[in-house]
Structure 1
Amino acid sequence: MSPTIPPTVNTPASLAALTLSGGQLNPVFDPTVTSYSTMFIGTSSLTLTPTAPGQTITVNGATVANGSPSAPISLPTGTTTIPITVTSSTGQTKTYTIAAHQLGQEAYTKASNTTGGDLFGFSVAADENTLVIGAPSEDSLTTGVNGDQNNNGAGGSGAVYVFTRTGTTWTQQAYIKASNTGAGDQFGISVALDGDTLAVGAYFEDSTATGIGGNETDNSAPDSGAVYVFTRTGSNWSQQAYIKASNTDTGDQFGRSVALDGDTLAVGAVAEDSNAMGVDGNGADNNASTSGAVYVFTRSGITWIQQAYVKASNTGAGDQFGINVALTGDTLAVGAQMEDGNGTGVNSGDENDNSAINSGAVYVFTRTGSTWTQQAYIKAPNSGAGDEFGRSVALNDETLAIGAYREDSNGIGVNSGAEANDSVTDSGAVYIFTRTGSTWAQQAYIKASNASPNYRLGFAIALKGDTLVAGSSGEDSGSTGVGGDQLNTSATDSGAVYVFTRTGTTWTQQAYVKASNTGAGDQFGVSVALSGDTVVVGASTEDSNGTGVDNGAEADNSAADSGAIYVLR
């Protein structure tokens, strides 16, 4: 009788550990997870050290001994995909991949009709390979899409520019004006983009119309404000809607902020005056000057209607509810940078104790069906008078980022523990909150790595997944590019941007970014946008006289405050 031969047992292939010579893996290494990412600044190469006892390991195609570092892997600007393949003793294989991203500047962009004072880049929005830039002080008299850019007969009317990317090359696709261009309207003060839909705020527009598609030509309600919706078919943009508040009034500044998600649009009217509280109250009683309001609109087909009129739960004169809005799915976040409540944290304290002047607050609302209700009232954990918590808000799924650009602590980095030391005036901070179920809790307190007086971290923020971009428009370093000298304070108000990433619940700073042509007063970081692996930064008071993309005129500062945009990837 032949002896029984035991069956072959296949040994699964798996890494036990994986470490990097620099940076950090996102997510944290887990042998069962095969896809990772990491970000670098100013790093030319990377080595990986894999551990898989008794197995064969290759990194980037080359065999590596167990527990030993690989050969250096070059990291050019952009994303490098690094494969790590493990083969067990019985021939089973498993491949892990790391997307290693080296952040660098991809484009330097100016308006096609650059003129001093236009403030190109005051607002930005990005979605995949499309970029939208607002220039609220542009002066052309034209109306609609791709009109005459050079007739500067309507000072401060404003314009919006659309650029698209093919590969790594950006080109201008459209030059957009309001359908009722008027001097001083500031079209482009705010922009929001989702796919082929664009919303543009003109918060000083003057018509008396209410609702959707009203009379654009009766300019007897100065600075009441308007929002314009444009859509793209192929490469052609056209206006779909002209939107006013349901209670249009002089000076309300409807359109100071906009947010767009699918068929839902949120619009902030930062100087609206009603004393209503909550959702769908009486918008006609103007006894709370500049308290602010937010309006929610929805689209069915090509038709927009107002769904909600939203006020704070503690409406107060001067609070500026709606200075910024963020929208994701059925969740809306609203900043009120001048709110005065003395509470700290989430849903704590007496909302009506107004003893912390201009400390600021953020309100979170959720939608069920078509009904909006307030879910949270959020204050900084170190709330202080004048901090203006809520000047910027960014929302992505269950994570909310809030900027307080006039916060004063002397902390450095993440969770420094220095919240109570108010010795660095207007250095600024960003706060991260996360939601579990319907409960919000703080996850991180973020300061710049070079926090200093008047740097204003958090004036603008953008959030996507586990990445946060924070603008510090008053930062003073004279360095250029990514990862430069943060302590060279030779360019006052040149501005900077900081990139942070999250692993698990831990946030770390990954990049310190300056303009390629840093200049005093340029305010690089006055606006920011984030889409995928692309970071967009506005410097609305940059001074070069160039036009278009990568024009070579970065050093010619003969067009004061014309503005510029920088794309990093």
Structure 2
Amino acid sequence: MLIAFLAVGVGIVSAEKPVSTAEQGPVEEFRLAADDPTNAAEFGRSVAMDGDLVAVGAGGADAGPVSNAGAVYLFKRQGQGYIPEAKLVAPDATDGAEFGRAVAIQGNTVIVGARFAQVGDLSKAGAVYVFKKYQGSWHFEDKIVSPEPADEDNFGRALAVQGNLLVVTARKENLNAADVGAAYVFTCRGGEWTNTAKITAGDPTPGAYFGQSVAVRGGLIVVGARNADPDGAGAIYLFRESSEGWEEIAKVAPPDGKADDNFGFTVAMAGDTIAVGARRADLPGAKDAGAAYVFSLHGNSVDLVTKLTAGDARAGDQFGQAIALAGDLIAVGANRADTEEGADTGAIYLFRRAGNRWTEAGKVTASDGVAGDEFGYSLSAFGNRMVTGAHTADATAGAAYVIPLRS
């Protein structure tokens, strides 16, 4: 049954302010925040951008009378700024569901992950909610659940959509052992999403968290498993669609990986480029400074192009917490980078491609950033703009920033 969803005013947008950059040049940020902020809402825990629409997840926001259920706030571009479009909440909201922990946009459709949503008698199995806009307002369309639901599976922790294909991960699903993880492929036919495949690692290992991240492009799915072997450094798995379903064509691990690097914590794809975040990779004298790896895809072959690190890397920065590709730019979030404003203010590093070389082209920080904001926690890019979350800004109410990228 179709349930109409009421759009309500949801945000205040600050005046545009300059962003600190290294070589990026003068740009203007646009700050987004909810007009019903609450402590621990964590507005900015997830972000998505497509066309003129920006979605910001707040996994701890209130949903009407249900506290801490989570919400997604939508903003629409108007001129050089953004205005509130709607606040989306689950029609069956429950306390602690973390609705908005993941979010994706495709045209007039917004898809939201709630990794602890209730499914039947299971209080924390996780689910994905689909909303569409028509006749000027947003409507709830569908609730997608795992065909094999179980509590604490984290179904909906990560998701990716392209055309009529949706991939939803359950990074803590138990297979042969605890927290091995899985991903589910759904296909939209006649307006309904149907599960058509289940994807798992060819070498499943306990605690691998297969499904920590996911990206889709063409007939290719990339799934990150942040603790996969060898050595628990993490890995990404590539699956290509064939007449027989989804076939694993490659497993890629960092050549210099060590336990707890979190390689595969984040992943992004564009063209033949795959960028992978390893937020806890150690650098000489800088534990957990973080790194990102860039790979080139040729057929079923995945080749390492380069390893990216911050020019001013410090211990604990978590460079690689978030990652996004925009043309010849890679943006990497380091949410715990220290700045002049204090510890864990956060920063985003930009890398530009020239031929086969990627070089650091800028460092972006929030003009109003303060200690503990964690700017750069989440990232999404579209065209010549990106959006990032600072989910612990404003006493954990959170904030997000839309930032133009110089071409």
Q: Same fold (TM over 0.5)?
A: yes
The offset of 1:238, in angstroms, is: 1.2
How far apart are the structure 2 equivalents of 1:475 and 1:175? 31
1:305 to 194, 197, 203: 194
- The 8 Å contact of residues 326 and 384 in structure 2, kept in 1 or not, is answered as no
1:241 to 142, 148, 153: 142
Query: Residue 402 of structure 2 aligns with which residue?
Result: 567
Query: Residue 7 of structure 2 aligns with which residue?
Result: none
- The 8 Å contact of residues 228 and 234 in structure 2, kept in 1 or not, is answered as yes
Query: Residue 161 of structure 1 aligns with which residue?
Result: 73
Which one has a larger percent strand, Structure 1 or Structure 2?
A: 2
Give the aligned residue type for 1:333.
V
The offset of 1:196, in angstroms, is: 1.5
The offset of 1:41, in angstroms, is: 5.2
- The 8 Å contact of residues 121 and 135 in structure 1, kept in 2 or not, is answered as yes
1:113 to 36, 45, 53: 36
How far apart are the structure 1 equivalents of 2:129 and 2:105? 12
Query: Residue 344 of structure 2 aligns with which residue?
Result: 493
Query: Residue 257 of structure 2 aligns with which residue?
Result: 383
The offset of 1:494, in angstroms, is: 0.7
How far apart are the structure 2 equivalents of 1:234 and 1:408? 51
1:259-287: CA deviation from partner (whole Å, max 9, x where unpaired): 11111111111111012xxxxxxxxxxxx
Identify unmatched segments of 5+ residues in structure 1.
1-39, 44-100, 142-152, 209-219, 276-287, 342-355, 411-422, 479-489, 544-559
1:474 maps to 2:348? no
Query: Which structure 2 residues correspond to residues 147-226 of structure 1 after superposition, within 5 A?
Result: 153-208=65-120, 220-226=121-127
Q: TM-score, length-normalised on structure 2? A: 0.92
- The 8 Å contact of residues 105 and 566 in structure 1, kept in 2 or not, is answered as no
How far apart are the structure 2 equivalents of 1:102 and 1:234? 41
Query: Which structure 2 residues correspond to residues 410-559 of structure 1 after superposition, within 5 A?
Result: 410=284, 423-478=285-340, 490-543=341-394
- Secondary structure in structure 1 of the residue aligned to 2:342: coil
The offset of 1:369, in angstroms, is: 4.8
The offset of 1:467, in angstroms, is: 1.4
Query: Which structure 2 residues correspond to residues 337-348 of structure 1 after superposition, within 5 A?
Result: 337-341=226-230
Structure number with greater CO (CA < 8 Å, separation at least 6) is: 2
How far apart are the structure 1 equivalents of 2:243 and 2:356? 31
The offset of 1:397, in angstroms, is: 2.3
2:61 to 118, 121, 138: 138
- The 8 Å contact of residues 324 and 335 in structure 1, kept in 2 or not, is answered as yes
The offset of 1:542, in angstroms, is: 0.1
1:440-484: CA deviation from partner (whole Å, max 9, x where unpaired): 101110001111100000011011332111000110012xxxxxx
1:392 maps to 2:227? no
Give the aligned residue type for 1:266.
V
Query: Residue 122 of structure 1 aligns with which residue?
Result: 45
Query: Which structure 2 residues correspond to residues 7-406 of structure 1 after superposition, within 5 A?
Result: 102=25, 104-141=27-64, 153-208=65-120, 220-233=121-134, 235-275=136-176, 288-341=177-230, 356=231, 358-369=232-243, 371-406=245-280
1:323-350: CA deviation from partner (whole Å, max 9, x where unpaired): 1111112111101111131xxxxxxxxx
How far apart are the structure 1 equivalents of 2:319 and 2:342? 16
The offset of 1:106, in angstroms, is: 3.2
How far apart are the structure 2 equivalents of 1:159 and 1:391? 23
The offset of 1:155, in angstroms, is: 2.4
Give the aligned residue type for 2:100.
G
1:409 maps to 2:332? no
Give the aligned residue type for 1:112.
D
- The 8 Å contact of residues 538 and 564 in structure 1, kept in 2 or not, is answered as yes
Aligned length: 385
How far apart are the structure 1 equivalents of 2:242 and 2:26? 40
- Secondary structure in structure 2 of the residue aligned to 1:291: coil
Q: TM-score, length-normalised on structure 1? A: 0.66
- Secondary structure in structure 1 of the residue aligned to 2:34: coil
- Secondary structure in structure 2 of the residue aligned to 1:314: coil
- Secondary structure in structure 2 of the residue aligned to 1:451: coil
- The 8 Å contact of residues 22 and 364 in structure 2, kept in 1 or not, is answered as no
How far apart are the structure 2 equivalents of 1:105 and 1:456? 25
Identify unmatched segments of 5+ residues in structure 2.
1-19
How far apart are the structure 1 equivalents of 2:278 and 2:229? 14
The offset of 1:102, in angstroms, is: 4.6
The offset of 1:234, in angstroms, is: 5.5
- Secondary structure in structure 1 of the residue aligned to 2:345: coil
Give the aligned residue type for 2:47.
V
Give the aligned residue type for 2:325.
L
How far apart are the structure 1 equivalents of 2:249 and 2:261? 23
The offset of 1:105, in angstroms, is: 2.6
The offset of 1:103, in angstroms, is: 5.1
